[in-house]
Structure 1
């Protein structure tokens, strides 16, 4: 199913597009007024008084945070062109407009209000915009959404009502509060959840403080948003790589793999792939949090790249996903720019030309001394292709790599393979570092980069071992590279590398120096500056990499999706053992 074609979304005329934009901006304006009414007391009182005097306000205009959040949610889903959001808005605003028009024609008090005429015109304009722009709301949700929304509503209401009952029981201040029954308190809390208010005359034995009632209302709002999210969520995933997809991608890598050092990472099992009509190019991607996140450059012939990019974009729009690319090269960024993408430099990839590399010279003195110090301590490095490692030895290496991993989550998406020891990855290169006693102390694994290159995939070390092991292993690989037919090696990726380099120069501007200071500060928790300096010692060629996006407003969402995909943020509720399962599967395959 990996090569399933997606029909491109038909381009609309200017009128439906403008009508859809008006509908979105109407909801945004109403959301802003609702929130403003909640904090501006006099404005909120005017809106509530207007609603209580046989008068009408425009569709969804009330006064409060809850209604503001609800309207803002609808605005976001409408901006993403969700068909379900369009249906909900039309289903609510259509009857509201009909009721409004009927009241205007039959009740003189309502007809004589100029404000009501303005409200009627605004509501009618919104409904007309929905009708005219109906073809612009084409994004389909997951087929399981209605069932999921029903489950969330049922289970959520049950849990929320129990929490509301507990809160009412703890905070009840009515005289003789002990006389109220559990059923009465549950009824009171449930009414506040559903209607936001509960008639006090029906519950003489219940008196709760205002903050408790507000807390129940907030719980109600959260439940409504959870149900709406379940109903409107985008399709979470597309078909993963099939065996046929894997085979075709490897064929493209054999012909064009030397173009991109990240090409081999397209073979990750959690990615999907979409093909050009000719099959000469493909885009590998993963859907995370409603973002269709592609990684690296498209695979295959650059002349065929547009043929793969276009169906990928059509698919993203059909499902309401935000398209983005992580780690694209300058060449790919230029091609994507023709399809409406903008670029932001993410950092630089360190690439070492083996023929040009040398440990000689004053500039390499520190590196040379560190290498000699580790070698004199008795450490040795073994270099082998994965296919040359016996199954029992590979199982041991996998276990040690798992033990040395920092945390339970396997990190990496755009620049990591996410597995170790798979029989299909026989051309990968493993470096094993042993101490003087023969104990394994560190591992490096590289994936193929075309016929004569390697790209760093995995880097693990024993924390009890001495410093400098990784640098020693990289230098040993560079010294032996020509023996195994390797001419270029891609090492770690250094985020914001140019900031550290230019910010340290004489004459750097105040903005650049401030930006460098901020990055240095955050480097205390994340390896930003240390990765740059660790790679700079090899005097590499710096290849810029970019994040590509269509709208700047989408950058926070893209950053969040990228952080989740790379493993820096973890989806709540997933058990830790799920993240270790692929290593166990690899071990089982090798043992078999």
Structure 2
């Protein structure tokens, strides 16, 4: 596979997860909302540039005559009160952090961000207008520019007010208050200690040092220079500004978090999903994994289709195809995207089929091919022929070693025996984290999953050595869920068990089996061929290198030996810039990346 967008790109309404608004003035509102974001980006750049240039300005001053520098400094301090800057332009990291954060949350159209910007900028604009009635301020052209820019920003906010409709978590105010008070306290204590140690002036009192610390936290400009009893080093000023900026970022995050999506799959939703799977479960091999109880379900208005998802790190992450009647899929997708927009969640779909990907694309999502799913058609499977020699030899070697396989539906396994199988599966697990989200059920032995199929492998002494579990794929299909083995068992054990299942499939009335997903399969298949281009060869070499740790290539090789049918699977996303965030959310959902402070 090439790392490029697939062809699932029919005409779609929008690429920003919003349905097109055809009401009068909609285009003006969208442009005004975008203008506020671009203004904040510019202010953030200017603030950071001012902070970074501070050491260079100090170096230039040191080469000047000390007396002249002192005179200019006093003159600047005297006249600085006659100038005012545009909204949030304070030459400090705190304002830069605030502007950057507002860029992120206003780009996601959060209502709270709009309210805060109006509360901060509107009174400031009024103050600027009143100041311009005074001659000492009116005489400086820069003040007119500042007032005009601030006024345009306020006007853009008011025009675009209906665009900002995303809500936040109800617990945000309390958490933000605690984070703000704690951050200011820690910054104040550490900053005051630094100021006390590096202050070169004598006679400074503790209140002077505290005032200097707080003012320097806001700006590295002349604001704190008004505390004449303190003259700290420049690196101290920058450290204090960075500390307060970090505390302020924590405060902002706590205040503007999106809801975490704690609603999980309830008994009623699970029953409705099982009803949809009974009627339409044969459409998607991943359909049964929608029953994971750490997901939530949102249904179409008719109740004939549903999208299942989990919110991870502000990403509403769906997996597989929508469940139910394809004619009702658009209604379920619309409901899911609407909920994501209302909560400022980033929508994404992992492992959608081409059919579902096409419908998602019509709702404004772009598609990227992730890899291929290996599906074995029982009618075409055989161990004969040169292409199956490796699998045939592995199967015969393990069988001669005395290994046997028992195949049963979960409902046919006694409860005490199922408990032992579950304990062995946990013992054989690699690590303590139960991995899987889009292609794993996340539980074993639940009475509600009686139609799942268990393969138990024992050695010549009757000791259990491995097990496989498959979930139903409609009435006549199975999809791999769990694969566990004793690491001291015979090599080729998994190939032996898979072949045994494929050979006995007709007795189970199974005509197709979905095996593992091979990410970036086409890269490994074509990258080593004669005539592969330089980009494809580089991509192949990169994936081969990372396969040393993540087993990307080995999964492809393990599946390819069964001569399967390869079905492409896609990642769906709203914006290309969201892909890194979606990747992190997917890694967390699948269990490859854990966050220590969250359960």
TM-score calculated relative to the size of structure 1 = 0.88
Q: Is 1:151 matched with 2:175? A: no
Q: Tell me what 1:3 maps to.
A: none
Q: Tell me what 1:548 maps to.
A: 572
Shift in CA distance, 117/158, structure 1 to aligned 2, threshold 3 Å: closer
Q: Tell me what 1:490 maps to.
A: 514
Contact 2:285 2:473 in 1 (8 A): yes
Q: Pick from 4, 7, 21: which aligns with 2:34?
A: 21
Cα deviation for residue 217 of structure 1 reads 2.9
Q: Is 1:134 matched with 2:161? A: yes
Cα deviation for residue 154 of structure 1 reads 3.1
Cα deviation for residue 152 of structure 1 reads 2.0
SS in structure 1 at match of 2:293: coil
- For structure 1, which runs of at least 5 residues remain unmatched after alignment? 1-6, 579-592
Q: Tell me what 1:83 maps to.
A: 111
Identify the range of structure 1 (358-367 vs 195-204) with the bigger mean alpha-carbon deviation: 195-204
- For structure 2, which runs of at least 5 residues remain unmatched after alignment? 1-17, 61-72
Contact 1:261 1:490 in 2 (8 A): yes
Deviations 1:11-56 (A, max 9, x none): 651111111111111111111222233334599899x969925112
Q: Tell me what 1:358 maps to.
A: 382
Identify the range of structure 1 (58-67 vs 121-130) with the bigger mean alpha-carbon deviation: 58-67
Q: Is 1:373 matched with 2:397? A: yes
Cα deviation for residue 239 of structure 1 reads 2.1
Identify the range of structure 1 (297-306 vs 9-18) with the bigger mean alpha-carbon deviation: 9-18
Contact 1:282 1:305 in 2 (8 A): yes
Q: Pick from 474, 478, 484: which aligns with 1:460?
A: 484
Cα deviation for residue 347 of structure 1 reads 0.5
Contact 1:192 1:213 in 2 (8 A): no
Distance in 2 between the 1:256 and 1:533 partners? 31
Contact 1:193 1:220 in 2 (8 A): no
Q: Pick from 291, 303, 308: which aligns with 2:327?
A: 303
Q: Aligned runs of 1:174-185 on 2, under 5 Å? A: none
Cα deviation for residue 431 of structure 1 reads 1.1
Cα deviation for residue 147 of structure 1 reads 1.4
Q: Tell me what 2:471 maps to.
A: 447
Shift in CA distance, 159/419, structure 1 to aligned 2, threshold 3 Å: farther
Q: Aligned runs of 1:16-165 on 2, under 5 Å? A: 16-40=29-53, 52=80, 54-106=82-134, 108-161=135-188
Q: Tell me what 1:318 maps to.
A: 342
Q: Tell me what 1:589 maps to.
A: none
Distance in 2 between the 1:128 and 1:199 partners? 32
Identify the range of structure 1 (246-255 vs 143-152) with the bigger mean alpha-carbon deviation: 143-152
Distance in 2 between the 1:186 and 1:435 partners? 76
Cα deviation for residue 189 of structure 1 reads 9.5
Cα deviation for residue 203 of structure 1 reads 11
Shift in CA distance, 175/44, structure 1 to aligned 2, threshold 3 Å: closer
Distance in 2 between the 1:164 and 1:104 partners? 36
Deviations 1:512-532 (A, max 9, x none): 011100100111111111110
Cα deviation for residue 131 of structure 1 reads 0.3
Contact 1:330 1:546 in 2 (8 A): yes
Distance in 2 between the 1:319 and 1:249 partners? 24
Shift in CA distance, 458/185, structure 1 to aligned 2, threshold 3 Å: farther
Cα deviation for residue 153 of structure 1 reads 2.2
Identify the range of structure 1 (465-474 vs 479-488) with the bigger mean alpha-carbon deviation: 465-474
Q: Aligned runs of 1:223-302 on 2, under 5 Å? A: 223-302=247-326
Shift in CA distance, 366/145, structure 1 to aligned 2, threshold 3 Å: same
Distance in 1 between the 2:368 and 2:499 partners? 32
Q: Pick from 344, 347, 363: which aligns with 1:339?
A: 363
Contact 1:168 1:185 in 2 (8 A): no
Shift in CA distance, 118/180, structure 1 to aligned 2, threshold 3 Å: closer
Cα deviation for residue 323 of structure 1 reads 1.0
Distance in 2 between the 1:201 and 1:553 partners? 43
C-alpha RMSD over aligned residues:
3.0
Cα deviation for residue 277 of structure 1 reads 1.2
Contact 2:480 2:515 in 1 (8 A): yes
SS in structure 1 at match of 2:387: helix
Distance in 2 between the 1:302 and 1:230 partners? 40
Distance in 2 between the 1:163 and 1:113 partners? 39
SS in structure 2 at match of 1:444: strand
SS in structure 2 at match of 1:327: strand
SS in structure 2 at match of 1:523: helix
Count of residue pairs the alignment pairs up? 562
SS in structure 2 at match of 1:129: helix
Shift in CA distance, 195/335, structure 1 to aligned 2, threshold 3 Å: closer
Q: Tell me what 1:585 maps to.
A: none
Distance in 2 between the 1:437 and 1:207 partners? 82
Contact 2:265 2:294 in 1 (8 A): yes
